[in-house]
């Protein structure tokens, strides 16, 4: 890769990426490329993201993916990126994270965010990740009344709150049953590897399944 210099000015595409990161906390290189550079080579996307990183708008991290020995590059906002998307007409600074999250939860969050890119513009504006939902509901993975907080939630164009729950292959049957019971009455989109859908269904999961 050629020598990386700072981004001299932000493009509309740059601002779109920063806004997506503000809502999703962490996204993979693959997700960003598919959304913003669908027909370009990966290098084109990587070089622009590297410029934004050098300018202090975002930061990257390499993490382990599901398969042993495979890795994934992920991005989150840095201080300058948060300042760009927040302010009088922007998002609430207190609701925008500038860390990738806990090491063992990053991949889980990335997979959860697969759903985000299928949403309409207005649905994206309502998208909240689990960490923000926890904060709003008083902290902890269980809200008042003992209900579990989902990995993400959004309001559909029809006005219905939709839950998003991801399983990267780690949940036990007992955990799935607990979540199913806790989410009773809510529409749920389950995100999982292709070989996990039957496992989730077997333990009571219903709704829409988004596999990868």
pLDDT at residue number 138: 78
Is residue 189 within 8 Å of residue 164, measured between CB atoms?
yes
pLDDT at residue number 133: 95
1-103: CATH topology is Arc Repressor Mutant, subunit A (1.10.10)
Q: Higher-confidence residue: 48 or 139? A: 48
Rg (CA), the chain: 18
> How do residues 161-186 score in pLDDT, each as one tens digit?
999 999 999 999 999 999 999 999 99
Angle 42-54/12-24 helices, nearest 10 degrees? 80
Least confident piece of the model among 26-30, 133-137, 169-173: 133-137
Domain ranges of the chain: 1-103, 114-212
Place of tokens 């398969």: 67
Place of tokens 């649905």: 123
Q: State the chain's mean pLDDT as an integer.
A: 94
Q: Which two tokens stand for residue 23?
A: 């809502």
pLDDT at residue number 142: 59
Q: Which two tokens stand for residue 86?
A: 């927040």
pLDDT at residue number 199: 98
């Amino acid at each position: 890769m050629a020598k990386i210099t700072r981004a001299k000015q932000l493009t509309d595409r740059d601002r779109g990426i920063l806004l997506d990161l503000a809502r999703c906390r962490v996204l993979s290189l693959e997700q960003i490329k598919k959304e913003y550079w669908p027909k370009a080579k990966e290098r084109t996307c990587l070089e622009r993201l590297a410029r934004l990183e050098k300018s202090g708008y975002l930061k990257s991290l390499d993490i382990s993916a599901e398969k042993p020995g495979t890795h994934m590059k992920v991005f989150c906002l840095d201080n300058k990126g948060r300042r760009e998307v927040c302010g009088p007409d922007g998002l609430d600074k207190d609701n925008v994270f500038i860390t990738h999250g806990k090491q063992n939860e990053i991949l889980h969050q990335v997979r959860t965010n697969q759903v985000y890119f299928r949403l309409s513009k207005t649905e994206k504006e309502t998208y909240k990740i689990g960490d923000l939902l926890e904060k709003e509901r008083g902290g902890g993975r269980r809200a008042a009344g003992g209900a579990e907080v989902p990995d993400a939630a959004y309001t559909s164009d029809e006005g219905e709150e939709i839950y998003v729950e991801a399983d990267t292959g780690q949940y036990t049957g007992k955990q799935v049953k607990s979540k199913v019971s806790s989410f009773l009455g809510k529409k749920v989109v389950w995100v999982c590897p292709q070989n996990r859908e039957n496992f989730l269904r077997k333990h009571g999961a219903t709704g829409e399944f988004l596999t990868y």
